[in-house]
Amino acid sequence: MTLNEHQEDSHLTRDLALFDLDHTLLPLDSDQEWNRFLVKLGVPGSEQHAHDVDRFYDAYQAGTLDMDAYLRHVLGPLALYSREQLDDWHGQFMREIIAPALRPEALALVKHHRDAGDLCCIVTATNSFVTGPIASAIGVDHLLAIDLATDGDRPDGRYTGEWVGVPSFREGKITRTQAWLASLGKSFANFARVWFYSDSANDIPLLEHVSHPVATNPDERLRRVASERGWRILELFG
Active-site pick, 22, 29, 203, 219? 22
Is residue 215 within 8 A of residue 226, CB to CB? The reply is yes
What does pTM read for this prediction? 0.91
Q: Residues 205-220: pLDDT tens digits?
A: 999 999 999 999 999 9
> Across the chain, what does the average pLDDT equal?
92
Domains annotated on the chain, with CATH: 3-234 (3.40.50.1000)
Q: Residues 173-183: pLDDT tens digits?
A: 999 999 999 99
Active site residue 199: no
Angle at which helices 104-115 and 128-138 cross, to 10°:
70
Cβ contacts of residue 34 below 8 Å, gap of 6+?
Answer: 90, 93, 97, 130
Is residue 23 within 8 A of residue 29, CB to CB? The reply is yes
Active-site pick, 20, 29, 199, 219? 20
Cβ contacts of residue 52 below 8 Å, gap of 6+?
Answer: 73
- Cα–Cα distance, 84 to 236 (Å, whole number): 35
Q: Residues 131-158: pLDDT tens digits?
A: 999 999 999 999 999 999 998 766 678 9
3-state secondary structure of 167: coil
DSSP summary character for residue 22: B
pLDDT band at 230 (very low <50, low <70, confident <90, very high): very high
Active site residue 20: yes
pLDDT band at 165 (very low <50, low <70, confident <90, very high): very high
DSSP summary character for residue 214: E
